[in-house]
């Protein structure tokens, strides 16, 4: 995912559009690894503004993930917009070099930045549906597909003794 901004940089206010559809390697999140179900589509509008380049982008793809409640595999749709500002290295102050997005050639890769945006847009937990009922903690049955005879209540052993006592057992 390389963009060449040589001609953009010459003319204030000029803009260019870039489109990509690329298969990216799986991304790592904690212990998990998630592969993309489809190529990652990226559309960028890049505008020269002052010393920087304003990037308005859109990302579309799908990730293969597992539901964190029932463990079923499903595809998680990715679709979001983002905005970035890139500075050429020669125009950046020392502060900006530590915090801003910097490019040092007319042609540079935005792939790393796209992966960062994707990571920021993922939920804390993947759920196959908001009301996924998950697996029974006792017998492991998928409660979306089956019902089991296990009780939902987990009985505190101390209370169990009390209830026996109450019943005079
Ligand atoms: Zn689920
Ligand atoms: Zn059960």
Cα 135 to ligand 1 centre (Å): 8
CA distance 35 to 115: 12
Alpha helices in 19-132 (DSSP H): 94-99, 111-120
Question: Tell me, what's the pLDDT at 152?
Answer: 59
* 2 within 8 A of 20, measured Cβ to Cβ: no
Give me the residues near ligand 2 (ion), CB cutoff below 5 Å.
136, 138-139, 141, 148, 150
Cα 152 to ligand 2 centre (Å): 8
**112-169 per-position pLDDT tens digit:** 999 999 999 999 899 999 999 999 999 999 999 999 988 656 555 665 565 555 555 5
> Where is average pLDDT lowest: 1-10, 25-34, 54-63, 78-87?
25-34
Ligand nearest to the CA of 65: 1
CA distance 4 to 20: 13
Please, which residues have CB within 8 angstroms of residue 15's CB and are 6 or more apart in sequence? 8, 45, 46, 47, 48
Cα 141 to ligand 2 centre (Å): 6
* 67 within 8 A of 131, measured Cβ to Cβ: no
């Amino acid at each position: 995912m390389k963009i060449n901004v040589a001609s953009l940089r010459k003319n204030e206010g000029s803009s260019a559009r870039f489109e990509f559809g690329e298969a990216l390697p799986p991304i790592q999140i904690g212990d998990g690894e998630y592969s993309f179900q489809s190529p990652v589509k990226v559309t960028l509008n890049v505008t020269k503004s002052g010393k920087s380049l304003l990037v308005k982008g859109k990302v579309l793809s799908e990730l293969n993930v597992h539901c964190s409640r029932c463990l079923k595999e499903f595809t998680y749709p990715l679709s979001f917009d983002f905005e970035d500002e890139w500075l050429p290295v020669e125009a950046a102050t020392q502060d900006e070099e530590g915090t801003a997005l910097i490019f040092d050639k007319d042609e540079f890769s935005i792939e790393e930045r796209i992966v960062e945006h994707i990571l920021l847009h993922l939920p804390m937990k993947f759920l196959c549906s908001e009301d996924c009922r998950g697996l029974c903690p006792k017998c492991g049955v998928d409660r979306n597909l089956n019902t089991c005879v296990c009780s939902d209540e987990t009985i505190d052993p101390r209370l169990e003794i009390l209830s026996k006592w109450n019943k005079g057992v």
